[in-house]
Chains A and B, each alone.
Chain A
């Protein structure tokens, strides 16, 4: 199982190398990878049907609970089949859709990286690896949305999507850390029995809040939904795969996965119902007025995700069953519609719904696929969608007091979805064929077979629900609810209320389809409300953040070394001064101080005169040389107090510093001309204050009782453990060798920086 997950990452690395060697016609063979993963997981079917789970664990960083734990249960099984199955079709489709594209290798690399991260996400049994794979899906999605990177709109959408889902990822991390704090358990499958203690913990509210933000950003729930329509800038296979069938369902997966652990609580249910209901109706209304095929599909996807959140929020057995079925229903028909849209776009060059029509005459198989998907989407019997819709009504009707409100919302949403499905799946193919599209021909089978297959499956599962009932749906529901479910999927339950509601949905949706003609005017009426939409508000916040950052940087990072120094010293002086005046009793024990020897007095005298020269000399070189004298005098003091190591190092460093100074100053004017005396006085005051404070601090430190444990340990063990008599050196190269290693790396980086900055001879046009 680990290989199945990892292979995608390896493939992503290898594909750019082998792509040049692969002939353009044979790129279709890359689909072998997702197909074999699909086959591998399908071979585990008997295991899953028996209600068992497949667990694999690899130790990674056991000390902080991060392990590569994978657990294949019913819910994961449903998702891995979707990921690898639709993945196979998308891989095949891409080989034709992007045939001969310059960066096809990159595209497949990103795609298989995404597939691997998504598989890892739904298989992870460890809360930290879950987070890692979650972030990896965001990152691969970023690359795929921005695939047409010469288009500024693509880049902007990619960044928006990354920002929204990335923030969600951080919230997921917070939620997971919270869970770890409460329980001390990092295995998801081991958390369910602890549900009671988690829900009574005071941190429960926070965990829930963080988890919800993560799920809502990923699954494009209101008010974070806006990144998804933007993400449609990606090539159509990406929209199919990531933004309708799999990645956006990661949030749904997360909620479903944590239902047995965090669910069945008032906060959980009401939040999800409210957010889900708002999202599904809001997006359904929006989908009515779009003109771009992909825009319609994007909003109807958001709406469908809203339904799923809503169903998980209801939390009853019926609702969770409906959610499991609807995940599959939606993946099948929405992927088909997206693939069909891609074909239309590819062949006609437009996605504008007003211009399209009559395409059945030129590409019948595509039309059939689209129609099947539209039927399943509309929930017309005998499609799989009909089954899904029935289950949704069944779930909402069982909700007691608010049953009719919820059912009403569901009917409205479903009617709007039906409208959107007809608009995308039927309207482009019926009616009169415009003259300009007469020359269009059917694309190759690699493009139309995948949607046709998915469309047919949407009907087959409806006619024979037994195919998936025991194998996929039951284990999934079992994984979410924690109990063995007893239900039977069938098309016809007899004539009852649900059938009437279903007919009502179909009727109103169809009427809507014939009455409402999409037009520019209607669209502009809807977009007028954009100013108050969550997207504008969040963008405004983001922009003001950037503006604040710009001002902040301009103020502090002004580029003048002298102001940096002033800021640093003034800040430290204020901090130290404040501390000294509030609560530190200044006390110097004169008895502890040793006598001043003659040598020391002489060195101090040299130092004082050197400082005098530094400050008052008009020549820069004299000032630097005098500073060197101060440094050497320090070495003497180190020597007096028996620290030859320090003295030696200080001596070398000082020599080199003076050399460096001289080199730099060589080109500056030889004599200092200070503009005015006020600056001098200000700098002098600051220097005196800071120096005085540091002196006081040094004297005070001597009063502190020193803990000698560490230095004693080093002194004692330097020879025993490090085989050295020079304790300082043993610390450097042995006890704290890792620090030294990092330090020399930093040194090297600094040198490369200096080299790069000074050797960089930019042309005048390249300078900002």
Chain B
């Protein structure tokens, strides 16, 4: 599959798809989208890149092993859930900032929770796919 066209396209597709996946993640609270779908899209972006250029190159771009995204994401989700505890609210209560931020909209703990999901999904998908394709 290492044709020139695919290879060239993949280099441009990666940032575009990643941007799109973040877009999907951010709009999730108001329109169709969310961390899960966003994460899947980001993984697809990396998978396409790895198919065109080989896993080693993709790993170089990522700099860390995708497996590390899982604990990072889990901790982020956990932290966003634990934050309300400091304000005397039950675990996982949604906290929101008063004013909206341009482009992103309202920022709340749910957004960080969703980002955690996003990272875990990328980590899980890429770990599985990379491990399997390396093992063969």
Question: With the chains together, A755 CA to B43 CA distance in Å?
Answer: 17
Within 8 A of B (CB), among A702-740: 721-726, 728-730, 732-734, 737-738, 740
User: Which residue of the partner chain, among A666, A726, A751, contacts B29 with CB atoms under 8 Å?
Assistant: A726
Q: Is the CB of B78 within 8 A of A741?
A: yes
In the docked arrangement, what's the CA distance between A106 and B30, Å?
56
B106 to chain A, nearest CB (A): 6
Question: For the complex, what is the distance from the CA of A611 to the CA of B27, rounded to whole Å?
Answer: 36
Contact of A194 with B by CB under 8 A: no
A543 CA / B29 CA spacing, docked (Å): 57
Counting CB contacts under 8 A, is A748 at the interface? Answer: yes
Determine if A644 and B32 form an interchain contact, defined as CB atoms under 8 angstroms apart: yes
Contact B40 A666, beta carbon cutoff 8 Å: no
- Within 8 Å of chain A (Cβ to Cβ): is B52? no
- Binary flags per residue of B93-112, CB closer than 8 Å to A gives 1, else 0: 01010000000001010100
A655, B44: Cβ atoms under 8 Å? yes
Across the interface, do B34 and A733 meet the contact criterion of CB distance under 8 Å? yes
Q: CA separation between A97 and B33, bound complex, in Å?
A: 67
Contact present for B74 and A745 (CB under 8 Å): yes
Q: Tell which of A648, A744, A755 touches B116, judged by Cβ atoms closer than 8 Å.
A: A744
0 or 1 for each of B25-38: is its CB under 8 Å from A? (1 = yes): 00011111111110
A649 proximity list for chain B (CB < 8 A): 36-37, 40
Stretch of B5-13, B56-64, B125-133 that contacts chain A: B125-133
B134 contacts across to A, CB distance below 8 A: 758
- Contact between B37 and A737, CB atoms less than 8 A apart: no
Cβ–Cβ contact B114 & A729, under 8 A: yes
Q: Out of A652, A729, A744, A752, name the residue touching B28 (CB < 8 Å).
A: A729
A748-763 vs B: 1/0 string, CB under 8 Å? 1011101100110000
Residue contact B73 to A751, C-beta cutoff 8 Å: no
Q: Could you tell me if B108 and A723 are in contact, using CB atoms closer than 8 angstroms?
A: yes
In the complex, chain B residues whose CB is within 8 Å of the CB of A724: 29-30, 110
Which residue in chain B gives the minimum CB-CB distance to A718? B29
Stretch at the interface among A27-35, A317-325, A333-341, A656-664: A656-664
- Is there contact, CB below 8 Å, between B135 and A758? yes
When distances are taken between beta carbons in the complex, the residues of chain B under 8 Å from A653 are: 40
Whether B131 pairs with A754 at a CB distance below 8 angstroms is yes
Q: Does A747 contact B (CB under 8 A)?
A: yes
Within 8 A of B (CB), among A663-702: 663-664, 666-667
Most buried by B among A645, A653, A724: A724
In whole angstroms, what is the CA distance A656 to B127 when docked? 13
B20: shortest Cβ distance to chain A, in Å? 11
The answer to whether B131 touches A738 (Cβ under 8 A) is no
Give A513 to B57 CA distance when docked, in angstroms: 86
B4 within 8 A of A: no
Contact among A660, A741, A754 for B81, CB-based, below 8 A: A741
Provided the pairs A645-B32, A724-B110, A741-B78 are in contact, do residues A754 and B44 lie with their beta carbons within 8 angstroms?
no
B106 — which chain A residues lie within 8 A by C-beta? 723
Residues on B with beta carbons closer than 8 Å to the beta carbon of A728:
32, 34
Tell me if A659 and B33 are in contact (CB < 8 A).
no
Tell me, in angstroms, the Cα distance from A721 to B131 when the chains sit together: 41
Given contacts A656-B43, A748-B120, contact A663 B136 (CB under 8 A): yes
- List residues of chain A with CB within 8 A of the CB of B136: 663-664, 666-667
Closest to B31 in A: A726
Question: Residue on A with the closest CB to B117?
Answer: A744
CB distance from B104 to the nearest CB of A (A): 13
Please measure, in the bound complex, the distance between the C-alpha atom of A728 and the C-alpha atom of B28, giving whole angstroms.
Answer: 9
A741 to B79 alpha-carbon distance, docked (Å): 11
Complex: how many Å from CA A733 to CA B73? 14
**Whole-angstrom distance between the Cβ of A670 and the nearest chain B Cβ:** 14
Could you tell me the dominant secondary structure of chain A's interface residues? helix
Partner of B131, one of A659, A667, A729, A759: A759
B29→A659 contact, CB < 8 A: no
In the bound assembly, the distance between CA atoms of A738 and B110 in angstroms comes to: 12
Residue of chain A at shortest CB distance from B67: A755
**What CA separation (Å) do A660 and B120 show in the bound complex?**
18
**Shortest beta-carbon distance from B114 to chain A in Å:** 5
- Pairwise interchain contact A725-B30, C-beta atoms closer than 8 A: yes
Q: Given contacts A723-B29, A725-B31, A744-B117, are A656 and B125 in contact (CB under 8 A)?
A: yes
Q: Given the complex, which residues of A lie within 8 Å of B43, measured CB to CB? A: 656
Q: CB-CB < 8 A to B116: which residues of A?
A: 744
- B30 lies within 8 A of A726 (CB): yes
Q: Of residues 32 to 91 in B, which have CB atoms within 8 Å of A's CB atoms?
A: 32-37, 40-41, 43-44, 47, 67, 70-71, 73-74, 77-78, 81, 91
Contact residue among B34, B41, B133 (Cβ-Cβ distance under 8 Å from A732): B34
Residue of chain A at shortest CB distance from B27:
A726
Closest to B113 in A: A733
Quick check: A652 and B37 within 8 Å, CB to CB? yes
The answer to whether B128 and A660 touch across the interface, beta carbons within 8 angstroms, is: yes
Give every chain B residue within 8 A of A664 (Cβ-Cβ).
132, 136
User: Is the pair A723, B74 in contact by a Cβ cutoff of 8 Å?
Assistant: no
Bound-state CA distance A734–B109 (Å) is 9
Q: Tell me the smallest distance from the CB of A524 to a CB of chain B, in Å.
A: 59
Residue of A nearest to B91 (CB): A738
Q: How far is the CA of A484 from the CA of B129 in the complex (A)?
A: 75
Q: Is the CB of A656 within 8 A of B70?
A: no
Bound state CA distance, A729 and B94, in angstroms?
Answer: 13
- Structural contact, A751 and B132, CB atoms closer than 8 A: no
Which of B29, B73, B91, B135 is in CB contact (< 8 Å) with A729?
B29
What is the chain A residue whose CB lies nearest that of B36? A649
- With contacts A663-B132, A722-B94, A747-B124 taken as known, whether A729 is within 8 angstroms of B33 at the C-beta atoms is yes
Check A723–B123 contact: CB distance below 8 A: no
Rounded to whole angstroms, the CA-CA distance of A738 and B134 in the bound complex is: 34
Residue numbers in A under 8 Å from B70 (CB-CB): 748, 751-752
A59 to B72, CA, bound (A): 34
Q: Please, how many angstroms separate the alpha-carbon atoms of A469 and B125 in the complex?
A: 72
Tell me whether B92 is interfacial, beta carbon within 8 Å: yes
Task: Please give me the residue from chain A that is nearest to B41 by CB atom.
Answer: A652
Query: Is the Cβ of B47 less than 8 Å from the Cβ of A659?
Result: yes
In the complex the two chains form, is B132's CB within 8 Å of A734's CB? no
Instruction: Please determine whether B74 and A751 come into contact, CB atoms closer than 8 angstroms.
Output: no
User: Closest residue to B28 on the A side, CB-wise?
Assistant: A729
- B67 and A751: CB pair below 8 A? yes
Let me know if B22 is at the binding interface, CB within 8 A. Answer: no
The chain A residue sitting closest to B115, CB to CB, is: A733
Cβ of B123 and Cβ of A748 under 8 Å apart? yes
* Interchain CA distance A45-B88 in the complex, whole Å: 42
Chain A nearest CB from B58 CB (Å) reads 14
User: Restricting to A261-317, which residues have a CB under 8 Å from any CB of B?
Assistant: none
* Interface hub of B30, B67, B106 (most chain A Cβ within 10 A): B30
Given contacts A723-B108, A737-B92, A754-B131, contact A744 B47 (CB under 8 A): no
Say which residue of B33, B37, B78, B124 sits within 8 Å of A750 (CB atoms): B124
Docked pose: A744 CA to B47 CA in angstroms: 20
With A724-B30, A734-B94 known as contacts, the answer to whether A656 contacts B129 (CB < 8 A) is: yes
CA distance A732 to B28 in the complex (A): 11
- Give A659 to B49 CA distance when docked, in angstroms: 13
A interface residues (Cβ-Cβ under 8 A, vs B): 644-645, 648-649, 652-653, 655-656, 659-660, 663-664, 666-667, 721-726, 728-730, 732-734, 737-738, 740-741, 744-745, 747-748, 750-752, 754-755, 758-759
- List 17 additional A-B contacts (Cβ < 8 Å) besides A725-B31, A733-B34, A755-B67: A648-B24, A649-B37, A659-B129, A663-B132, A664-B136, A723-B29, A723-B94, A724-B29, A725-B30, A729-B34, A732-B36, A733-B29, A733-B114, A734-B94, A748-B71, A751-B67, A751-B70
Across chains A and B, which 8 residue pairs bring their CB atoms closest together, nearest first?
A652-B40, A724-B29, A751-B124, A748-B70, A644-B32, A744-B120, A725-B30, A729-B34
12 pairs of residues in contact across A and B, judged by CB atoms under 8 Å: A644-B32, A648-B24, A656-B47, A659-B129, A729-B28, A729-B114, A733-B113, A734-B110, A737-B113, A747-B124, A754-B128, A758-B132
Q: B residues touching A (Cβ–Cβ < 8 Å)?
A: 24, 28-37, 40-41, 43-44, 47, 67, 70-71, 73-74, 77-78, 81, 91-92, 94, 96, 106, 108, 110, 113-114, 116-117, 120-121, 123-125, 127-129, 131-136
